[in-house]
Structure 1
Amino acid sequence: MRVYENAGALLDSHSTLNQLLEQTIAAMRNGTVGGKLRVQSINTYERQLSLFKGERGDQAIGNLQLYECTKTVLTHWLMKLSERTPANAKLAKVLLSRAYDLTVMNGLGIWANNPTHGVKLQSNTSDDDEPVALSLQEVQAIWKNIQAWQTPYKRTDLVGIVGACMATGFRINEVLALRWEDVDLSSTPATVANTGTLVRQDGKLIRQAETKTKNGYRIVKLPMWFSDMLVQRVQVADSTLVFPNDKGGFMDAVNVRTRFRDARGEMFSHVMLKSFRSSVASAIANTASLEDAQKQLGHSSSEITRRYYVQRAADAGDNTAILELFAPDPML
């Protein structure tokens, strides 16, 4: 029994799981499956195809024919994957569920029910997921390393890009999408509007004129040190982008992350560009309030900010009565 014909390719029970998943991604792009999804969301699901192909060391389950992909087989594969990478296992499970939807819509009777229903994956919450909150000393040390890396021969404005991450809490692709028209250096303090983000569509970087979420569209006030950096850059700008590549176009976040790994220093191997976002959130939440941190990061809920971005010290309780016993004798 066939599903449908797509670009001359017929799917039936002898087609491979990879073929079904590739057509599922195509259906997600045209809105047939999964509803209206953002480009970056579909791209994230598309990256999971490499898991099914065995390109990351997992069993290449995608090479199996569909009649071989029983619920038991799929469940075992997902559970093994979740032991290694719970977040990707969750995405792979969703993709398989969308693939099931596609088979139902087009009449392929491979699974009587959704084969992912009831599959319990390992949680991705662990100590490794604790947000990184850099101290002022660590920030200063990273600054020195980046400034040492930033020679006149380096075309990537890593100092400016890292500065933007620290000064705003924006995601890296939001920083790389900034245009000079989004910046107001005449106000006091200066401001920048988060109006879009870079996404990859059909292998090409484009600027999506909307933020990742509705709450992401916001204007943030800039610290003086960063507005001074922007004043220096706008005077020599020859692109509408604040941080363009050497040809004036969009800079690829993959390349920026590579440059940052080269510049950050060996002792900061645990620090990533996204660490500045959680550092901004932690600093604001612990100094001002969680709600202020939520607004800065553009979250719809303060719970998201607290759970994924704010590093808070555990409450040790009130032991002052006991510790008073260690008080020194009064000076005579």
Structure 2
Amino acid sequence: MTKIIEYTAKGKTLYKFNFYAGKDELTGKKMQVRRSGFKTKKEARLALSRLEYKKENGEFAPLANSNITFEELALQFMNAKEASLRKSSFVEESYTMRRVLEQLGKAKIKNIRGYHCQNAVNAWAKKAPVNVNYIKMLANQVFEYAIKSGYITKNPMDAVIMPKRPPKKRVDNYYTKQELNEFLTFVKQNRPKLYPLFRLLAYSGMRIGELLALTWDDIDLEASTVSITKTLSKVKAGHTKIDETKTKAGHRIISLDATTINILASYKREQSKELFSLGVLNTLPKPLPVFDKSLTIRKKNPGKRFNMPNDIARYLEYIYKDMPKDFKHITLHGFRHTHATLLIESGANTKTVQQRLGHANINMTLGIYAHATKKMENDAINGLSLYMEN
């Protein structure tokens, strides 16, 4: 029978006990539960009774290796999760996990408390305010994995109060019709080699990874179509590969306008001439990538595809540096958003927009309608006002 022992700490009389919970079936070791700090013998007896009840009903489960660190457990978790993720998604999560480990990695999982998690979240909020929820979610998943694996019984992340994000000025990540025309005109005049790329990006609605994966056999200049079946995916830091599009809906054939087709045809001829003049046209594997590094880096890796979307993002920044300071900046994804918005404003229905963008879920398309229809509503009201006044 377990004895409740009286002891003194800091001048106070307290109670403790050492409960034998049986043997671990895997290791054969005795399982001891030590509890202390009870203010009264009655409190200690009540806690002991609960443990005895759990033991009798087979509910008592020993904790696994209690000295394991958060980093060791996170590695187990990521290894278990890898098979369920696309390679690019796994790379992204692994990269984000590094931020989690900066704050919690070296701590033993059993010693992490709510205030440790709160401090970690506060630090993430300062360093990466945009991604703090995503970082916290990954940390939370590791703690849930720890519970399921028997390392801890409670998730210390449950005690966290999310810090309030400072309000930031909202800038819509898309261009109006006028803004897009101004941007493309500037690029055509000042960065002509990049003009076909940004024209196709804006007039097709493709993701940047899909655009960089294109080869010339994907574009039918006679039928004015482009076949989208692949994308540029990140496999590890600084490395990419050509992969299938994310979803079945991503496999699609879309039509292009006559002007864009003519621009691409002219660009293809110029690309062939340049690669021929450099003496590499007949040595390159076919089919050639539509957009290769001869776009901007003459005589350096001509005919080779861009490895990273960041390469194009960097050139976009160069363009913005040359433009008027007050001209709105958008991301590469913003050109896809621009395409969708202008399609809607021109009268395209939701199904057409969904199929053209390769959205697997119609809700993704409907979200774009929210701001597009707001402009259409304003135009309608202004039109009504003019009609009533005349």
TM-score by length of 1: 0.73
**One-letter amino acid matched to 1:242:** V
Is the Cα–Cα contact under 8 Å of residues 284 and 290 in structure 1 kept in the other structure?
no
- Identify if the C-alpha distance between structure 1 residues 84 and 63 changes in structure 2 by more than 3 Å, giving closer, same or farther: same
- Identify if the C-alpha distance between structure 1 residues 86 and 296 changes in structure 2 by more than 3 Å, giving closer, same or farther: farther
Q: CA deviation at 1:51?
A: 2.4
Instruction: Determine the structure 1 residue equivalent to 2:309.
Output: 253
Is the Cα–Cα contact under 8 Å of residues 279 and 310 in structure 1 kept in the other structure?
no
In the alignment, which of 232, 235, 259 is matched to residue 266 of structure 2?
A: 232
SS in 2 for 1:311: helix
Instruction: Determine the structure 2 residue equivalent to 1:162.
Output: 198
Moved more, 230-239 or 288-297: 230-239
> Counterparts in 2 of 1:181-260, with a 5 A limit?
181-187=217-223, 190-203=224-237, 204-208=239-243, 210-235=244-269, 236-237=271-272, 238=281, 240-246=288-294, 247=301, 248-251=303-306, 252-260=308-316
> Counterparts in 2 of 1:44-123, with a 5 A limit?
44-54=92-102, 60-74=103-117, 77-78=120-121, 81=124, 88-100=131-143, 102-103=145-146, 107=149, 109-116=150-157
Q: Deviations over 1:260-292 (max 9, x none)?
A: 011032333531211111111111112222332
Instruction: Determine the structure 1 residue equivalent to 2:78.
Output: 25
User: CA-atom RMSD, angstroms?
Assistant: 3.7
Is the Cα–Cα contact under 8 Å of residues 278 and 309 in structure 1 kept in the other structure?
no
**Which one has more relative contact order, counting CA pairs under 8 Å at least 6 apart?**
1
Q: Deviations over 1:18-77 (max 9, x none)?
A: 443344334333x2xxxx2111211221221342255xxxxx333433233334533563
Check if 1:140 corresponds to 2:181: yes
Whole-Å Cα distance in 2 between the matches of residues 52 and 45 of structure 1? Answer: 10
Which protein is richer in strand relative to its size? 2
**One-letter amino acid matched to 2:312:** V
Whole-Å Cα distance in 2 between the matches of residues 221 and 323 of structure 1? Answer: 37
Q: Deviations over 1:225-246 (max 9, x none)?
A: 2211221233344452111234
Check if 1:294 corresponds to 2:328: no
**One-letter amino acid matched to 1:182:** D
Is the Cα–Cα contact under 8 Å of residues 114 and 158 in structure 2 kept in the other structure?
no
Whole-Å Cα distance in 1 between the matches of residues 315 and 117 of structure 2? Answer: 39
| Higher Rg of the two aligned structures | 2
Instruction: Determine the structure 2 residue equivalent to 1:38.
Output: 86
- Identify if the C-alpha distance between structure 1 residues 283 and 319 changes in structure 2 by more than 3 Å, giving closer, same or farther: closer
Whole-Å Cα distance in 1 between the matches of residues 267 and 69 of structure 2? Answer: 53
Instruction: Determine the structure 2 residue equivalent to 1:6.
Output: none
- Aligned pairs, number: 296
Whole-Å Cα distance in 2 between the matches of residues 304 and 123 of structure 1? Answer: 27
Whole-Å Cα distance in 2 between the matches of residues 119 and 295 of structure 1? Answer: 41
Moved more, 292-301 or 11-20: 11-20
- Identify if the C-alpha distance between structure 1 residues 136 and 319 changes in structure 2 by more than 3 Å, giving closer, same or farther: closer
SS in 2 for 1:220: strand
Q: Note the residue ranges of structure 1 that are not aligned, 5 or more in a row.
A: 2-10, 55-59, 152-156
Which protein is richer in helix relative to its size? 2
SS in 1 for 2:182: helix
- Identify if the C-alpha distance between structure 1 residues 134 and 12 changes in structure 2 by more than 3 Å, giving closer, same or farther: same
- Identify if the C-alpha distance between structure 1 residues 221 and 127 changes in structure 2 by more than 3 Å, giving closer, same or farther: farther
Is the Cα–Cα contact under 8 Å of residues 147 and 154 in structure 2 kept in the other structure?
no
Whole-Å Cα distance in 2 between the matches of residues 123 and 290 of structure 1? Answer: 36
Check if 1:150 corresponds to 2:150: no
TM-score by length of 2: 0.64
Check if 1:177 corresponds to 2:237: no
**One-letter amino acid matched to 1:295:** Q
**One-letter amino acid matched to 1:205:** T
SS in 2 for 1:277: helix
Question: What percent identity do the matched residue pairs reach?
Answer: 21
**One-letter amino acid matched to 1:250:** R
Q: CA deviation at 1:301?
A: 2.7
Whole-Å Cα distance in 1 between the matches of residues 161 and 351 of structure 2? Answer: 33
Instruction: Determine the structure 2 residue equivalent to 1:5.
Output: none
- Identify if the C-alpha distance between structure 1 residues 119 and 171 changes in structure 2 by more than 3 Å, giving closer, same or farther: farther
Whole-Å Cα distance in 2 between the matches of residues 277 and 149 of structure 1? Answer: 22
